[in-house]
Amino acid sequence: MKLFTGLEKIVKTDYPLAPRTWLKLGGPSTYYIEPTTIEELGEVVKRCRENEIPMYVLGSGANVLIDDGGVRGAVIHLAGEYFRKTTIIEGGLHANAGADMGKLVLRCVRDGLAGMECLTGIPGTIGGCVKMNAGGAFGDIGSVIQSVDVMGADGEVFTRHRPDLAFAYRSSNINAPFILSAVFTLSEDDPHRILKQVKQIWIYKKNTQPLAHRNAGCIFKNPRGLSAGALIDRSGLKGRRVGGAFVSDKHANFILVDQGAKASDVLKLINTIRETVYKNSQVYLEMEIEVW
C-alpha cells in the first residue's frame, strides 16, 4: 500500500461497504479511509488526486446504494472523534460533518435551542444533510445554516457564508467534495415546547413511513408540485417486488429489502418504477438516493 505510506492506521483495502449502509447491500471499496483530523483528510485528498483515484464521501450510509460490484476508488468516512464534535455557541450551534443528525436534534431539545426540529427522524450526518439540504414537510436544514466550512478537491479549506449559499429542494450550491462543519443560527426556547414538536413530527413519520424496515429513505425526489409517492401509488406499484426488493405498502416512495436482496434487485425495481410512472403520468422521477 505504497500509495498511503504513513497513513496505514486510517486506510483499509478491499473493505466491505454493505455493513456501513442502511440497506446493507453492495460490494467492497478498493480503499476505505477514516481520517481523524483535517490535516489527515488533506493528505488523503492530495494522494488520491495525484494518483487519479476517485473519491467518495460516506456519511451514515442512509442515502446511498452501493453496486454489487463495489466501488473502485477511495471511500472516505469522516467518523473520528473530531469530526463528530458539536459545540453550543452564541446564537446557535457549531457541528462538524460526522455529527449524527438524530443525536444533534436531541441535544438541541435538551439545551433549549429551537430551529432543528424539522430534521426529526431524518437519518444521516451533518455533512450529507447540509449537502443535500435535508428536510421534509416541516422544513429543511438550509433555513438555519449561517456558514459552512468545506475542503476543495485540491485540499484547500475555506468558508462559505450565508450570502454566498443557496439552498433549494434537496440541493445546495455547495460543490466542494468535503463539507467539514456548519454553523447553525438557532433561538433559545422552552425545551418542553421543542420536545413536544419533536414528538409530534416523530409520530407523524412513524405513522406514514416504514421506519421499522431496512430502507434508504425516499428513493425519488418529489417532482415540482407533485408527490413521488402518490405517483407511484397511483401506478399500482405498492408491493411490487423484484427479487429481495419491494415497494413499501405504507409509503410508495420507499423501497424495502429482505434478507438476501441484492443491489441489482433495487436498481431493477427503480427502473420498473420510473418506466411505469412515466407511462402512466408522463413524469420522469429523479432519484434522491445516490448509486455508487
- Residue 280: all three cell numbers together: 402512466
C-alpha cell at 149: 466550512
Element housing 264 (H / E): helix 263-281
Location of C-alpha cell 483499509: 12
**Cell numbers describing residue 68:** 454489487
| Angle in degrees, 0-180, between the axes of helices 101-110 and 191-208, rounded to the nearest 10 | 150
CATH classification number, 2-77, choose in 3.40.50.300, 3.10.25.10, 3.30.43.10, 3.30.390.30: 3.30.43.10
Computed over its alpha carbons, how large is the radius of gyration of the chain?
20
Please list the pLDDT of the chain residue by residue as tens digits (292 residues). Answer: 689 999 999 999 999 999 999 999 999 999 999 999 999 999 999 999 999 999 999 999 989 999 999 999 999 999 889 999 999 999 999 999 999 999 999 999 999 999 999 999 888 899 999 999 998 888 999 999 999 999 999 999 999 999 999 999 999 999 999 999 999 999 999 999 999 999 999 999 988 888 778 788 899 999 999 999 999 999 999 999 999 999 999 999 999 999 999 999 999 999 999 999 999 999 999 999 999 9
- Going from N- to C-terminal start, the domains of the chain cover 2-77, 84-207, 210-283
* Residue 21, CB-side half-sphere exposure with 13 Å CA sphere: 30
Q: How many CB atoms lie within 10 A of CB 174?
A: 22
- Domain 84-207 belongs in CATH node 3.30.465.10: yes
Q: Across the chain, where does the E strand assignment appear?
A: 11-16, 28-33, 55-58, 64-65, 71-77, 86-89, 92-96, 113-114, 135-136, 139-140, 145-151, 157-161, 167-168, 171-172, 178-185, 187-188, 241-242, 245-247, 255-257, 290-291
What pLDDT does residue 269 have?
98
Per-residue confidence (pLDDT) for residue 86, from 0 to 100: 96
Task: In whole angstroms, give the CA distance from residue 127 to residue 80.
Answer: 14
Long-range contacts of 203-208 (CB under 8 A, 24+ apart): 205/120, 205/121, 206/121, 208/250, 208/251
Question: Cα separation of 230 and 208, whole Å?
Answer: 13
- What is the C-alpha separation between 5 and 165, in angstroms, rounded? 37
Hey, which residues are catalytic here? 170, 218, 288
Cell output for 102: 438524530
CATH 3.90.78.10 fits 210-283, yes or no: yes
